[in-house]
Amino acid sequence: MHLKRLCGLVAGGLILAQPASAQEFDRTGWFADLEQMRDAMSLGYANMEWAASERQSLKTAWDTAYAAVGASTDDASARTALTRFASSFADGHVSVRWPAAAAQSGGAGPASPCAGLAPGGASDRQGAFPGMPGYEPVPGDDSAILAAGLVTVDGKRFGVLRIPAFGQFAFPEICNGIAAARSIGTACDEACLEDLEKAAHAEFVAIATRQLRALAAGEPDALIIDLARNGGGDDSSEAIARMVTRRPLRSARIGMMRTPAWTAKLDSDIEELTAMRPSLAAADRATVDGLIAQMTAARDETRTPCDRSPMWRDEPVSCSQLVETGLSATGWINGHDADQVRGKPWEALTFSLASYPYEAGIWDGPLYVVVDQGSASSAEQFASVLRDNDAAVIIGAPSFGAGCGHWLGGEPVRLNNSGGEVSMPDCVRYRADGANEVGGIVPDVLIPLRNNDTRQQRATRMRAALASLTITSP
């Protein structure tokens, strides 16, 4: 079992759909669903402590939702009450998905095995910078995926790399191109799919590599990574962060949950490491023993849950449902120590960047990262790891605030009455100062970017901000 997780594109909001058929309204069942949702969050919602201390009274949130269900007159209004309860946490990874209106059947099957590996999701691929006077795009097919260009503002020359989402899954043409080149049809078994996904991950990073080299060749005074409206993605964010600086980047600490799912994951990883141990050289065996000890300590803590139910009454609790024992945003091997794991048998199990072959330090000059309210999840991970290691200056508007997502895959909780599926994050990513990343990224240089700005307005606001910048290395 290898280390895999998906943060996901989260900034699009909650997903609402109608049930397959109208049912007789049952308020009692909806109360049961609301209570099931509360209990599931008590056990498994990673940012519950943050929400209670930084955002809102959980008692007020619960009382408001309970009253709304009590006042509901049909299934639609009861659904709205639960949806609003989820959205009151303003957490991009908390959502309720309702049963689809109707299952669609028939028709042709998927034309490519990539249908499940790369469903798409990268919108606004160009961003605002091409709208600036004098913008010079980098030519070539790679710019259809990650647009790049050079622009001069008030005598300062900037290279700009636009990343609308992190990971190959948001760009179906990457996977489809590899499948076509290899003549892979729909008869692609699990091993075939894993190999195809790995190749697509590598190609996404390769595209970023080529675009960064093209920009560096233009000898700009500074590089801008444009993450405006980037809703997230996967751990390619950590790989590409290392490509735009030569500073060693220490990845964020991760808090995991005291849940059976985390216990099972750690049990599996311990078993896999233990199995490879006898064949290792003495020095490697010592390293693996250290990893096993860390995982065992974490596993033992996950077996003892914390009762957080008093928090719904705004009462204190004397424990935490979070466990922090050495796991980082890049796995049990922190990205700062990448060289220690390269080529080792346990690399894929303990280091998430093993899936993303990257070249560190392609760019080594002044670096700016643009974020706005649409920047979430992996986009925030990218910005924070660079900022917390003093490798970049963040510009733009405060980010969405999603933080760590679904480390274990994001298996939702199915509500017994309505069939709604509740999704919530199972991990916390901590900033260097100890803050939960779900609080969002506040830029060093604020630019009044608004969600309803046109492309022209955003380009005008960005150009004015760049004109006022004094370029310095972070």
**pLDDT tens per residue, range 358-399:** 999 999 999 999 999 999 999 999 999 999 999 999 999 999
Its pTM stands at 0.91
Q: Which of 97-106, 168-177, 403-412 has the lowest mean pLDDT?
A: 97-106
pLDDT-derived band at 112 (thresholds 50, 70, 90) equals confident
The tokens 């139910």 sit on which residue? 309
Look at residue 14 in the predicted model and tell me its pLDDT.
41
Q: Mean per-residue pLDDT for 90-110?
A: 69
Q: Classify the C-alpha dihedral 272-275-278-280 as positive or negative.
A: negative
Q: CA 8, CA 122: separation in Å to the nearest integer? A: 11
Q: CA 347, CA 238: separation in Å to the nearest integer? A: 16
What percentage of the chain has pLDDT greater than the value 70? Answer: 92
pLDDT at 106 over 80: no
Q: Which of the 8 DSSP states describes residue 166? A: B
Q: Are 30 and 418 in contact (CB under 8 A)?
A: yes
Among the ranges 88-92, 99-103, 149-153, 343-347, which has the highest mean pLDDT value?
A: 149-153
Q: Are 258 and 196 in contact (CB under 8 A)?
A: no
Q: Mean per-residue pLDDT for 162-180?
A: 95
Give the list of residues 6+ apart from residue 452 with CB closer than 8 angstroms, or none.
none
Whole-angstrom CA distances from 385 to 8, 360, 461, 472 are 18, 14, 26, 19
Q: Which residues of 84-93 are buried (b: 16+ CB within 10 A; e: fewer)?
A: ebbebbbbbb
Residue 106: HSE in the Cβ half-sphere, 13 Å Cα cutoff: 1
Q: CA 472, CA 82: separation in Å to the nearest integer? A: 48
Q: Are 397 and 371 in contact (CB under 8 A)?
A: yes
Token reading at 184: 């892979």
Tell which residue, 321, 419, 313, has the closest CA to residue 82.
419
Token reading at 164: 């609308």
Whole-angstrom CA distances from 427 to 257, 286, 468 are 7, 28, 39
Length of the chain: 474
pLDDT at 421 over 80: yes
Look at residue 101 in the predicted model and tell me its pLDDT.
37
Give the list of residues 6+ apart from residue 371 with CB closer than 8 angstroms, or none.
227, 228, 379, 380, 383, 394, 395, 396, 397, 398, 399, 441, 443
Whole-angstrom CA distances from 253 to 47, 175, 384 are 15, 32, 12
Q: Are 308 and 48 in contact (CB under 8 A)?
A: yes
pLDDT at 19 over 50: no
pLDDT at 104 over 50: no
Q: Over the chain, what is the mean pLDDT? A: 91
Whole-angstrom CA distances from 219 to 114, 142, 161, 216, 310 are 37, 19, 14, 5, 58
Strands 393-396 and 367-371 come out as parallel
pLDDT tens digits along 288-330: 999 999 999 999 999 999 999 999 999 999 999 999 889 999 9
Q: Which residues of 64-80 are buried (b: 16+ CB within 10 A; e: fewer)?
A: ebbebbeebeebeebbe
